[in-house]
Chain A
Amino acid sequence: MEKVVSEAEELPKAIVRRVVKEKLSECSPDYDFNVHKDALLAFSESARIFIHYLSATANNICKESKRQTMNAEDVFKALEEIEFSEFVKPLGASLAEFKKKNAGKKVDQSRKMRRKRRENRGFICRKRNQNQAKETG
């Protein structure tokens, strides 16, 4: 099996495999579809190139807007440009979910940090008092 010459990062085979097989069992619920090893590699490689393709397109759009950081809007526009506009809707939903989850997390984390700080302060005060008591005592 030939390896890609560059040390390019690859997508995890197991996950690619799962996505493909789940779809195949949808397409063919009555019988088991198999995936040849080479085919799996081709899937992985195609997906990787897709990332590059979309990424470069989005990057260009970003630069055109005189910005440095590629954002969600750039990616959506890029999808339209490379004619994958049917992806836009499901991606939007995915993003909304992600934001929801992360909003919750951020609040919790800051709460935890505040609580931790309060506790630490209390602890330090107590320690200080103890030490003072020892010294004077």
Chain B
Amino acid sequence: MDSCKQAQSSPYPPTSSVTQPSAIAVTPPAPFHHLLQQQQQQLQMFWSYQRQEIEQVNDFKNHQLPLARIKKIMKADEDVRMISAEAPVLFAKACELFILELTIRSWLHAEENKRRTLQKNDIAAAITRTDIFDFLVDIVPRDEIKDEAGLGGMVGATASGVPYFYPPMGQPTGGPAGPGGMMIGRPAVDPTGGMYAQPPSQAWQSVWQTAGPDDGSYASGGSGGHGNLDGQG
């Protein structure tokens, strides 16, 4: 009997060999255990819910580029005044898609030259080869666009042997029309300010300087076949 009493006072079932009605020994701790279990369950549910929440937010945030920064970049152009809330979202995604496109094309060039490191001249080549990237024509200085295969002639265009976008121009080399903008047929360089009253970046301004006699082939190449976007009216 005494041992029974002792057993009862301890919170956990005693290890003594004296058998006792387990109900008596366990009754005080039972609700406590049960509570602990409940708590644990609740905690587990809480955390799995939190994780789900976080994952969902991440799915959406995978357009990643910070909207505020994008808005600032847009606003660097004084012509741009008010922007709806949706616009930066679209721009973020568009930017991402654009980077992906540029990456793929640059990668192609690196592969062609049997390299496993993407270099600036890969990007330059991608820009030169791709019509719709003509607006980037001056991001990368000309000397980057050297063809590693060592083929001469039209820089970039013949690298892969495919005469991509260069329609037969009257003067394929030399004697450019001058920095009048038509050789580099982007409205951006339209002196009457078709699209860009104020070039938002240095890149645009330097376009004027690069249309020198030396750059004949490059410049004319850069205009691609789509010289004219002036019809944006």
Chain A residues proximal to chain B, CB less than 8 Å: 4-6, 8-9, 11-12, 15-16, 18-20, 23-24, 27-28, 31-36, 38-39, 41-43, 45-60, 64, 68-72, 74-76, 79, 81-84, 87, 90-91, 94-95, 97-99, 101
Contact = CB atoms under 8 A, between A and B. Distances in A.
A38 B89 contact: no
Contacts, number: 201
Main secondary structure of the interface of B (DSSP, over half): helix
B99 A36 contact: no
Query: Top 8 A-B pairs ranked by shortest CB distance?
Result: A69-B82, A34-B117, A94-B93, A23-B103, A71-B84, A9-B72, A38-B120, A52-B200
A39 B119 contact: yes
A72 B86 contact: yes
A86 to B, nearest CB: 8
B169 interface: no
Interface of A is mostly: helix
Contacts of A71: 84, 86-87
Interface string B191-220: 000011000111100000000000000000
A8 to B, nearest CB: 6
B69 interface: yes
B11 to A, nearest CB: 42
Interface in B63-81: 63-66, 69-70, 72-74, 76-77, 79-81
Given A27-B107, A39-B118, A68-B81, A95 B94 contact: no
B69 A49 contact: no
A54 B90 CA distance: 11
B128 interface: no
A101 B117 contact: no
A27 B74 contact: no
Given A9-B76, A51-B91, A81 B86 contact: no
B122 interface: yes
Given A12-B65, A70-B87, A87-B98, 19 more contacts: A4-B201, A9-B76, A15-B64, A27-B103, A35-B117, A39-B123, A42-B124, A43-B123, A46-B102, A51-B70, A59-B80, A70-B83, A70-B84, A75-B90, A84-B98, A94-B63, A94-B89, A95-B86, A99-B86
Contacts of B65: 11-12, 15
Contact of A69 (B83, B94, B103, B229): B83
B60 A8 contact: no
A34 to B, nearest CB: 4
A31 B116 contact: yes
A45 B144 CA distance: 15
